[in-house]
């Protein structure tokens, strides 16, 4: 996404309670960051495409704005898309230092006997964690999934508990896992919305491991198998994620693509065929890229305003944001964005850094597209006796004058 400073109308309510008149604060966009000619021409956004899958969702990765959804909260079987969470747990174990990519796993009889798609490991075979991950991510090996689950948690049942723990942490309320593979179980379910959340979390939390999802093939035990995500061959912008299929679940695909710095995530559940899940996912992604753009308005830690502080060693404190702000808007509407900063009418020391003292709201016409808390960027210590007393007197005079002016 292109980094820009939003041209905004800043309405800052100062500590005295008086408002500064709105002023158009135009910040030129650097030439290197400007879109190509005619890209800023606003055009109407057509209705979202209707596809044949039972449920689906299209989301921008950075802004988390939902661009398209249909039955996104309907309970569905995830099939092998389950392995997204299996991998997420394994990646977390790697990051925490509990396992390494180089250590070996002894393949159990249970892992070997697990039905469905396989990477063709054998009982008693010593396989590295990395090979098992690639066998699971690229070849969708159920045997690899069970071997990893047993290695991490001792049993697949215990590993499913870890999967549900991370589902809760990621705020996937409509998901429950019973196994590491996605093989059918009446208590094993999810939604398109939760799969999109998990997909985005995988990309965000594990950038070092995510590239495995874009690998087109993997050879193990002298057997070469191709990635079942056929979109990897169709569109170079697509770099993941995972397919799934059972008779009950239908054909499913969680996909992600990045074009010109804008990343989208889609989840298509219950499609009619392998080819339709790919074409339907491509349709959603193309729609998002063609008619929307994502811009970064502010960076984490960026100072947006200053505010008067009473009874402090400093008379002002800078205000900013703890996280970066992205918005996804119809293409060509960037110059129509406006923002308002509102700050509490009176701030008094002591103030800790990070104290919430106001909000910044970004609007596109009548639509609120982003709202974030403003926080103090530094600590303001309380002034001594004379400084505090003098500010108290000024506050009293201000209050007296305001009261005296009332009818």
Q: What domains appear along the chain, each with residue ranges and CATH number?
A: 2-27+296-404 (2.60.410.10), 55-208+222-271 (3.40.710.10)
- Is 140 among the catalytic positions? yes
- The predicted structure's pLDDT at residue 282: 97
Beta bridge partners of 55: 269
Among candidates 328, 77, 93, which has minimal Cα distance to 192?
77
Cα gap 191→75, rounded to integer Å: 5
- Is 266 among the catalytic positions? no
Q: Is 80 exposed, middle or buried (CB count within 10 Å of its CB: 0-12, 13-18, 19+)?
A: buried
Neighbouring C-beta atoms of residue 389, cutoff 10 Å:
12
Please report, in tens digits, the pLDDT of each residue of the chain (407 residues total): 434 444 443 333 333 232 222 222 323 333 333 333 344 566 688 999 999 999 999 999 999 999 999 999 999 999 999 999 999 999 999 999 999 999 999 999 999 999 999 999 999 999 999 999 999 999 999 999 999 999 999 999 999 999 999 999 999 999 999 999 999 999 999 999 999 999 999 999 999 999 999 999 999 999 999 999 999 999 999 999 999 999 999 999 999 999 999 999 999 999 999 999 999 999 999 999 999 999 999 999 888 888 888 777 888 888 999 999 999 999 999 999 999 888 888 887 788 898 898 999 999 999 999 999 899 888 888 765 444 554 454 444 455 345 544 44
Neighbouring C-beta atoms of residue 124, cutoff 10 Å:
10
Cα–Cα–Cα angle for 307, 17, 355, rounded to 5 degrees: 40
Concatenated DSSP letters of 99-156: S-SSSEEEPPHHHHH--SS-----TT-EEEHHHHHHHHHTT--HHHHHHHHHHHHSSH
Strands (E), 144-299: 217-220, 223-226, 238-246, 250-259, 262-271, 292-298
Cα gap 238→385, rounded to integer Å: 63
The torsion defined by the Cα of 365, 370, 371 and 375, in degrees rounded to 10, comes to -130
The pairs formed by 243-247 with CB atoms below 8 angstroms and a separation of 24 or more are 243/80, 243/81, 243/140, 243/274, 243/277, 244/78, 244/79, 244/80, 244/81, 244/82, 244/182, 245/79, 245/80, 245/274, 246/77, 246/79, 246/182, 246/183, 246/184
Token pair of 404, please? Answer: 């005296």
Cα–Cα–Cα angle for 246, 251, 252, rounded to 5 degrees: 110
Among candidates 260, 353, 367, 359, which has minimal Cα distance to 39?
260
Cα gap 78→253, rounded to integer Å: 9
Which residue's structure tokens are 């008379």? 315
Residue 230 in 3-state DSSP?
Answer: coil
Residue 366 in 3-state DSSP?
Answer: coil
SS3 string, 39-92, reads CCCCCCCCCCCCCCCCEEEEEECCCCCEEEEECCCCCECCHHHHHHHHHHHHHH
Who contacts 161 (Cβ-Cβ below 8 Å, separation ≥6)? Answer: 153
Given 83, 108, 256, 281, the catalytic residue: 83
Token pair of 256, please? Answer: 């992600």
CA distances from 307 to 155, 249, 374, 399 (A): 56, 56, 11, 19
Instruction: Give this prediction's pTM.
Output: 0.84
Given 55, 63, 108, 140, the catalytic residue: 140
Given 80, 145, 180, 266, the catalytic residue: 80
Cα gap 58→65, rounded to integer Å: 9
């Amino acid at each position: 996404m292109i980094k820009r400073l939003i041209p905004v109308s800043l309405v800052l309510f100062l500590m005295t309670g008086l408002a500064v008149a709105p002023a158009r604060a135009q910040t030129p966009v650097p030439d290197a960051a400007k879109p190509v000619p005619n890209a800023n021409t606003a055009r109407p956004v057509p209705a979202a495409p209707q596809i044949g899958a039972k449920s689906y969702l299209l989301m921008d990765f950075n802004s988390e704005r939902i661009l398209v959804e249909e039955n996104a909260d309907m309970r569905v079987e995830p099939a092998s898309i389950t392995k997204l969470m299996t991998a997420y747990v394994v990646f977390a174990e790697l990051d925490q230092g509990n396992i390494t990519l180089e250590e070996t796993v002894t393949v159990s009889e249970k892992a070997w006997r697990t039905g469905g798609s396989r990477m063709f490991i054998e009982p008693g075979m010593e396989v590295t964690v990395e090979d098992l991950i690639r066998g699971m991510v690229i070849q969708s090996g159920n045997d690899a999934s069970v071997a990893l689950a047993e290695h991490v948690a001792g049993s697949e049942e215990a590993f499913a508990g870890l999967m549900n723990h991370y589902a809760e942490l990621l705020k996937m309320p409509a998901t429950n896992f019973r196994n590491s593979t996605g093989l059918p179980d009446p208590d094993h379910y999810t939604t398109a919305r939760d799969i999109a959340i998990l997909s985005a979390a995988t990309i965000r939390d594990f950038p070092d491991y995510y590239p495995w999802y874009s690998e087109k093939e993997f050879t193990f035990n002298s057997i070469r198998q191709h990635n079942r995500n056929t979109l990897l061959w169709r569109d170079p912008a697509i770099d993941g994620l995972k397919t799934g299929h059972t008779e009950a679940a239908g054909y499913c695909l969680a996909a992600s693509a990045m074009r010109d710095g804008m990343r989208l995530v889609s989840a298509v559940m219950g499609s009619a065929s392998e080819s339709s899940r790919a074409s339907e996912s491509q349709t959603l992604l193309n729609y998002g890229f063609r008619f929307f753009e994502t811009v970064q308005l502010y960076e984490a830690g960026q100072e947006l305003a200053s505010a008067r502080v009473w009874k402090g060693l400093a008379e002002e404190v800078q205000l900013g944001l703890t996280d970066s702000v992205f918005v996804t808007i119809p293409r060509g509407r960037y110059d129509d964005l406006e923002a308002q900063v509102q700050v509490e009418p009176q701030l008094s020391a002591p103030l800790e850094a990070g104290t919430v003292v106001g909000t910044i709201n970004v609007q596109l016409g009548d639509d609120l597209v982003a709202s974030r808390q403003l926080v103090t960027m530094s600590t303001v210590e309380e002034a001594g006796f004379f400084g505090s007393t003098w500010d108290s007197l000024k506050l009293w005079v201000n209050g007296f004058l305001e009261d005296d002016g009332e009818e």
